[in-house]
Structure 1
Amino acid sequence: MVVTGLGIVSSLGLSRDQVTASLRDSVSGIALLPARKKLGFQSGLSGVINDFVGRNPLDRRYRNRLPEFGWWAWDAIVQALEQAAIDPAELAGDPAAGFLLGNDSSVVTGVEQCEMLKEAGETKAIGSGHIFRLLTSTVTLNLCTKLQLRGASWSISGACASGAMAIGQAADLIARGRQDRMLCGGAQEISWQSMCSFDAIGAFSRREDAPHQASRPFDQERDGLIPSGGAAILFLEAEEVARARGAKIIAEISGYDFSSDGYHLSVPSGEGLLRAMGGALANAGVLPAEIDLVMAHATSTPAGDEKEAQVLSQLFGLEQGERGPMVAATKSLTGHEFWMAGASQLIYALLMSRAGFVAGHPNLSKPAPEAALLRIPTATIAATPHHILCNAAGFGGVNACLVAKVHHAV
């Protein structure tokens, strides 16, 4: 299963080039939003997407049927297909071409339709497009129809592991011969409506005096995550299909595994993530010592970062003096992109590797004791990782891990 196209809309930029530059230059996508403070949020921090203009704008019908993050997803699809040199018309009607997306909410539409009902006093005031914007599967059902795909098409709801699960499942479908070509990835809304409950439980950092320094994965002084979002799409193909058309191969999805902690709704056990990492490596036929780069889930929460650091040390034998791979914590720049995080982090890794660097974690001033053995660069360093392990974890103790083998540009 090879990757031939990447598309990204994130707080770091609206294209592969913009995002690569932000990663290289440690440009943060996090800002303080005063409107959230006025609403009563404890934290007004958020990742932001500015000046978005789609390359191939949706017609009015689909704009009305998709929430804003669906527009971002469409743009990321256009980017990925352009890089893969695929005309969308080539996918239309093909039962071996599909679309899987990680997404676990579409909150704004639900709020809007309730407000419309209260104001009008009857449901007739609610436009017909709301039903197609409300569903968690809004992006796949709308864009699968737009692209006229005939293959696998569904959304995966696995909390913050959703995006990684979508990529892994798409790769599995291709590996089993069920599909030949798959769009896959994740999307996440950036809206105060979707973040009220997270703010209520004190999940967010309150380091509002310095927004760009607020997300501090693995740091002793971390005080919570920063919500963020966007859309991240990969185009996967069976290797023989890609080579037959002369496609330029970016990477291979060589391993995938998943697990559940079966432990707690919001506190990770670590054991489940360790199992998923080991399973992904075994699926890829790769030894821990062959991993050059780990894209840590590392959301900047006290419990989550602690457990991940511990199991990374265990997996790579760091307690026994092994050197271990580099560990990137890109949420220090983006904030936590929730449902799309596993997909966006894989794209960040591929962009960095092919550009010859690994982004630094500029906010790591006091590494937590459990992270002391991890090789986390604080500034951008030159590197060309070959084997990448990407971690994702979420509420309910769900975990998903991907291994990618990078094909470096020549």
Structure 2
Amino acid sequence: MKRRVVITGMGIYSCLGKNLEEVQHSLYNGISGIILDPVRKEMGFRSGLTAKLEVPNLKGILSRNQRVYMPEQASYAYVSTAEALKNANLDQDYLDTHEVGILYGNDSSADPVVRSVDIMRDKKDTTLIGSGAIFQSMNSTVTMNLACLFKLKGMNMTVSAACASGSHAIGLGALLIQNGLQDCVVCGGAQEVNPFSVGSFDGISAFSVREHEPTKASRPFDRDRDGLVPGGGAATVIIESYESAVKRGAPILAEVCGYGFSSNGDHISVPNVDGPVRSLEMAIRAAGMDIRDIGYVNAHATSTPVGDKNEAKAIAQVLGSHKPEVTSTKSMTGHEMWMAGASEIIYSTLMMKNGFIAPNLNFENPDEDSAMLNIPVVRVEKNFDVFLSNSFGFGGTNSTLIVKNL
């Protein structure tokens, strides 16, 4: 018998808020975190749209020697993880005496690399780069920093799977727990928000140019969508075996009951329908439930023409006549990329625990594919006990999670 996997803590730092309470308020009231950044226009960006986020000030919380190894996204992840551990009632004594693991999604650390290269080219002296640069610039920067700061002694690994990274981190953590290899894993995803991290996206015209109305630029499933809006931050989910949670009297929020994954085996940047369908079906099989039990779907839908179209087809194909509410919280946050698969589990859990579904902002005109789905444009007051969350990424990586209320 595989062990049950439950969520006992959550923490978040996003454009919707710097903690769970602020984020829940934004979700409930349909508040967008998207702005127009004039600095990006000065840098030559085609689109200056981005999520609004400030780097947390950790002076007085962490020492200078600790902070020097941390890039922007590790700072976000530290804040979200501290909140998640607190909410899960996991103190440092417990972390010191148990093998708690960490699996965190992160697939870039551009800013430290750019700064290091600038120094090398300008000064012709590598000793001026600084001792922290190598640790800041590695893709594994988040897990290496958090594992050391919180003294974690279990699994220590970064999941790099493009925009499915955060979701895969939770799914893989669940597999470790189900098979008795870990009792508790800190999972999540982090995304840097600096211009250097997304300049190449802008260069291929991936971003919306609806700059005159920033909060209306991210339009998942809408016929007139013209591209995504970049976002970021960090989201942390504490998962552990049901037995472990009960033994230590932990708060049990929900159960991770299904994880599905697939690869499109197709184009590197253009998604198809078959890959997502297989990911959805695998998650539903793993959960061992009827599709009619699914009360809400948090779609990957990033506001790109082809991506939203094919996801709508996949959802409609798998769910058939069952039509639960489908929304993309990216209409409020933009695309949080490596973080999105984790943050959207938190957004959806907050909605499930509080009996509402946040609106799919800016959905004014359906196309022939989104018309097949039940997409609410205003907040829905609804009690539901199961949700499904999709995350898809470049290279055709797909992840689907199903979470049940407890």
Find the counterpart in structure 2 of residue 386 from structure 1: 385
Find the counterpart in structure 1 of residue 33 from structure 2: 29
Aligned length: 402
> Is the CA contact 1:70–1:139 (under 8 Å) kept in the aligned structure 2?
yes
Give distance in 1, aligned partners of 2:194 and 2:13. 16
Whether 2:75 is the aligned partner of 1:76: answer no
Distance 1:80 1:328, change over 3 A: same
Letter in structure 1 aligned against 2:158: S
TM-score calculated relative to the size of structure 1:
0.96
Give distance in 2, aligned partners of 1:78 and 1:7. 7
Find the counterpart in structure 1 of residue 191 from structure 2: 188
Find the counterpart in structure 1 of residue 325 from structure 2: 326
Letter in structure 2 aligned against 1:359: A
Find the counterpart in structure 2 of residue 86 from structure 1: 90
Give distance in 2, aligned partners of 1:241 and 1:281. 25
Find the counterpart in structure 1 of residue 174 from structure 2: 171
Give distance in 2, aligned partners of 1:31 and 1:314. 35
| Identity of matched residues, % | 45
Find the counterpart in structure 2 of residue 142 from structure 1: 145
Consecutive unaligned residues in structure 2, runs of 5 or more = none
Whether 2:47 is the aligned partner of 1:43: answer yes
Letter in structure 1 aligned against 2:388: L
Deviates more, 1:331-340 or 1:369-378: 369-378
> Is the CA contact 2:292–2:322 (under 8 Å) kept in the aligned structure 1?
no
Distance 1:178 1:55, change over 3 A: farther
Distance 1:83 1:54, change over 3 A: farther
Superposition pairs of residues 345-356 of structure 1, within 5 angstroms: 345-356=344-355
Distance 1:114 1:55, change over 3 A: closer
User: What is the CA deviation profile of residues 153-183 of structure 1, one whole-angstrom value per residue up to 9, with x for unaligned ones?
Assistant: 1001100000000000001100000000110
> Where has structure 1 moved over 6 Å in runs of 4 or more?
none
Give distance in 2, aligned partners of 1:203 and 1:15. 29
Distance 1:118 1:55, change over 3 A: closer
Give distance in 1, aligned partners of 2:213 and 2:93. 47
Give distance in 2, aligned partners of 1:250 and 1:333. 24
> Is the CA contact 1:58–1:71 (under 8 Å) kept in the aligned structure 2?
no
Deviates more, 1:239-248 or 1:172-181: 239-248
Find the counterpart in structure 1 of residue 245 from structure 2: 242
Give distance in 2, aligned partners of 1:219 and 1:89. 50
> Is the CA contact 1:81–1:88 (under 8 Å) kept in the aligned structure 2?
no
Whether 2:15 is the aligned partner of 1:16: answer no
Equivalent of 1:304 in 287, 304, 307: 307
Give distance in 2, aligned partners of 1:355 and 1:52. 28
Q: Secondary structure at the match of 2:78?
A: helix
Find the counterpart in structure 2 of residue 115 from structure 1: 118
1:48 is displaced (CA, Å) by 1.3
Whether 2:226 is the aligned partner of 1:260: answer no
User: What is the CA deviation profile of residues 331-361 of structure 1, one whole-angstrom value per residue up to 9, with x for unaligned ones?
Assistant: 0000000001111001000011111110001
Letter in structure 1 aligned against 2:362: N
Consecutive unaligned residues in structure 1, runs of 5 or more = none
> Is the CA contact 2:37–2:49 (under 8 Å) kept in the aligned structure 1?
yes
1:55 is displaced (CA, Å) by 10
Q: Secondary structure at the match of 1:378?
A: coil
Find the counterpart in structure 2 of residue 211 from structure 1: 214
Deviates more, 1:146-155 or 1:334-343: 146-155
Give distance in 2, aligned partners of 1:252 and 1:271. 27
1:125 is displaced (CA, Å) by 0.8
Q: Secondary structure at the match of 1:193?
A: helix
User: What is the CA deviation profile of residues 341-400 of structure 1, one whole-angstrom value per residue up to 9, with x for unaligned ones?
Assistant: 111001000011111110001200001110102111101111122111110000011100
Distance 1:53 1:66, change over 3 A: closer
1:119 is displaced (CA, Å) by 2.3
